[in-house]
Structure 1
């Protein structure tokens, strides 16, 4: 019986990796998610769009060149009465005209609006980068949380397996004792009920693990039914400090970065609106060719070519007070952005402080549950000795057995929760390091 207990404990505490199943580490899971996850791919494409838009031409800083071609033909019955009274008539008179050339336009001054638009495009690129970073951090956090939840539930499944092994041996012992008259039939039935309960719990727990693996496969964007094993060891960083976390969050938290970019965009919008108060100066030029033919008229055929150039200037004199309204709205948006920055800073600090308290509490629970697990193991060994010599009932042995399994389960749960709270802190500062 002692050997069976030791085997069960080893099954519970040692890492078991199925040979026929893939061993998936948390780093490998994250790498697969970053490569396959659809949300990340969408944000990557959005960032590429923003990068493509950052050009001087898109901001209106470069000239535009246009090629023009126009041809018109007509057939008509014409009657012309000239000044001297002569009448000229012609049926199916042909009139043809052909024009082609190149025109160039260049806005050389628009109140510096083109420069603010170019800066806006750069900020939109930064916005895309921050959104991609936030998506990556969120996905990594989801993968880590799901992975270590599987670890916790897998360890609980192993605990149930160990309990089944112990219960099976207890049943054999009880049946042997009953056969020689040292135990009642009631004791055998109680042990059988305990074994059935353990097997029922295993079926339920196995289903929990399978569903969690489906959730993780979904995050990795791969075959949902693909089975795998996880590494049971949970490494926890116990060196985190609240001051360092708060300081790092100011420069790496994606939400704070995005809100700062939004304020900068509001400032640039105000500059673009104010640019409408100034004149717009545009240079125009071109080189054109034209030909025309007429069957009836003073000029039967003409051709011309030449250069055209000039400058146009326009200024807004009155637009129904819309300019003033737009400037006021732009200023209000800047004020809103300032308030949002203060609000977000306070919210992030509050979330980090609360998460840090949970993190420290979980670290203390890990140490406490580790001691409880050691005590429960010692109690299990003592109970085993008493059960062998018949000074302990099967019900009392079952209590010790359940206490040991629960202690090991709580210890694994405490380690998992500590890891999840550490992951949450890293997500809040926007920087998860493996």
Structure 2
């Protein structure tokens, strides 16, 4: 794999001693560790994993225990056919009913299986959503990291221009001392130098703010001191066909595919409602009825029981039919959303690749222009020193050098940004 090395790194003096050097891998690692959106999605995966269980799907038996113990006081007045008469006020009576019941589902039209499959797809989808957020986080950090390098590279260009302005000012002073330059040239040279110094100060503020934006992506304190000494490596070997092929495994596409399967299994759950439900029930009963007055003083029974329960849906006003229609529409919509996503993704890949190739071409040309502008500036300074060029020509050469230097940096960053976007779309950022 060929790499195009562009040396753009610059660290402002005076900050190195107090700053921690931050590499790209360190920045990505910190962002993945501290990103709150990633933490939320990790929690969602845990929730989906907990839900993805046979018990939630209804496949496991249930066991319940019930105890009712009632104590009451009643007035008893009974006349038996034997002539015996029972009459008592405030007679105590106790009723105890208890049972342990177990119920297991034997059949419900494979609804349990469909529910379990849907829960599995929900868990897989939550992982793909996390993967998508990881890719987006890495892309954002890389863009912010290289933006700092870009802004620092502007300072490098400004510093070179300041050196030229200082040389020009010295030449004007020398020429003025021998009567070959006037005050206007001196004042203009000094003003140009002052303007560049002010531009450098403004650019240093932009660098500081770019670092602050990067710290936000890393979820670190905005006043954390960092230094970035790095280069931009633009990979020139990316091919659009490979990117388009790999885009099919984009995390968002995979999540959309999971959504289709979720909708399909949900539709099968709805269809299963039309089938009978068969359950096996078993357990143990213990009942006791005791009273202090009356003909029956104690009635106690206990023992196991076993049975089956069958529920057959016959008519519910067409609710099942409507639910099936809605489920079918949801499945169709999930497929349409995936198709829309794939088309948008392909369109974004083509546009990003066009940007990528154009900036690489411009970068090669701009690299030559940087060399030419530097030669032109040196030559113009020499000619000015020999009184063969005017101060206006020197300023024009200097401005050309600055603008071409800025453009070179911009093309470098734009090519890298397009590369990052292509790798993100291909789910290949690491």
Q: Of residues 417, 424, 429 in structure 1, which corresponds to 2:426?
A: 429
- The 1:285–1:170 alpha-carbon spacing in structure 2 relative to 1, beyond 3 Å, is same
CA contact (8 A) 1:234 1:415 kept: yes
Give how far 1:169 is off: 4.2
Q: Of residues 69, 72, 79 in structure 1, which corresponds to 2:70?
A: 72
CA distance in structure 2 between the aligned counterparts of 1:177 and 1:85, rounded to whole angstroms: 148
Q: Does 2:283 correspond to 1:286? A: yes
Cα-Cα RMSD: 2.0
Deviations 1:7-32 (A, max 9, x none): xxxxx967447243111111111111
- The 1:189–1:83 alpha-carbon spacing in structure 2 relative to 1, beyond 3 Å, is farther
Correspondences of 1:356-375 after superposition (within 5 Å): 356-375=353-372
SS at match of 2:21: strand
Give how far 1:335 is off: 2.4
Could you say which residue in structure 1 is the equivalent of 2:47? 49
CA distance in structure 2 between the aligned counterparts of 1:76 and 1:199, rounded to whole angstroms: 104
Unmatched segments (≥5 aa) in structure 2: 1-6
- The 1:296–1:174 alpha-carbon spacing in structure 2 relative to 1, beyond 3 Å, is farther
Could you say which residue in structure 2 is the equivalent of 1:97? 95
Q: Of residues 272, 277, 286 in structure 2, which corresponds to 1:275?
A: 272
CA contact (8 A) 2:291 2:297 kept: yes
CA contact (8 A) 1:146 1:216 kept: yes
CA distance in structure 1 between the aligned counterparts of 2:109 and 2:139, rounded to whole angstroms: 47
Deviations 1:33-76 (A, max 9, x none): 11110011111110111111111111111101122222222233
CA distance in structure 2 between the aligned counterparts of 1:357 and 1:94, rounded to whole angstroms: 93
CA contact (8 A) 1:277 1:316 kept: yes
Q: Does 2:172 correspond to 1:174? A: yes
CA distance in structure 2 between the aligned counterparts of 1:78 and 1:199, rounded to whole angstroms: 110
Give how far 1:341 is off: 2.9
Q: Does 2:314 correspond to 1:325? A: no
Give how far 1:116 is off: 0.3
Q: Of residues 181, 184, 196 in structure 2, which corresponds to 1:183?
A: 181
Q: Does 2:350 correspond to 1:386? A: no
SS at match of 2:231: coil
Larger mean CA deviation between 352-361 and 196-205 belongs to 196-205
CA contact (8 A) 1:73 1:97 kept: yes
Correspondences of 1:95-134 after superposition (within 5 Å): 95-134=93-132
Could you say which residue in structure 1 is the equivalent of 2:398? 401
Could you say which residue in structure 2 is the equivalent of 1:240? 238
Could you say which residue in structure 2 is the equivalent of 1:376? 373
CA contact (8 A) 1:155 1:232 kept: no
Deviations 1:157-193 (A, max 9, x none): 2222333343344334434443443321111211122
Deviations 1:333-376 (A, max 9, x none): 22223333333222221111111111110110110111111111
CA distance in structure 2 between the aligned counterparts of 1:233 and 1:150, rounded to whole angstroms: 11
Could you say which residue in structure 2 is the equivalent of 1:195? 193
Could you say which residue in structure 1 is the equivalent of 2:38? 40
Deviations 1:212-234 (A, max 9, x none): 21111111111112121223411
CA distance in structure 1 between the aligned counterparts of 2:149 and 2:407, rounded to whole angstroms: 13
CA distance in structure 1 between the aligned counterparts of 2:87 and 2:311, rounded to whole angstroms: 48
Could you say which residue in structure 1 is the equivalent of 2:3? none
TM-score where L is the length of structure 1:
0.91
CA distance in structure 2 between the aligned counterparts of 1:166 and 1:197, rounded to whole angstroms: 13
Give how far 1:136 is off: 0.5
Could you say which residue in structure 1 is the equivalent of 2:349? 352
CA distance in structure 1 between the aligned counterparts of 2:367 and 2:37, rounded to whole angstroms: 39
CA distance in structure 2 between the aligned counterparts of 1:177 and 1:219, rounded to whole angstroms: 53
- The 1:312–1:183 alpha-carbon spacing in structure 2 relative to 1, beyond 3 Å, is same
CA distance in structure 1 between the aligned counterparts of 2:82 and 2:391, rounded to whole angstroms: 136
SS at match of 1:235: strand
- The 1:173–1:292 alpha-carbon spacing in structure 2 relative to 1, beyond 3 Å, is farther
Could you say which residue in structure 2 is the equivalent of 1:213? 211
Larger mean CA deviation between 284-293 and 259-268 belongs to 284-293
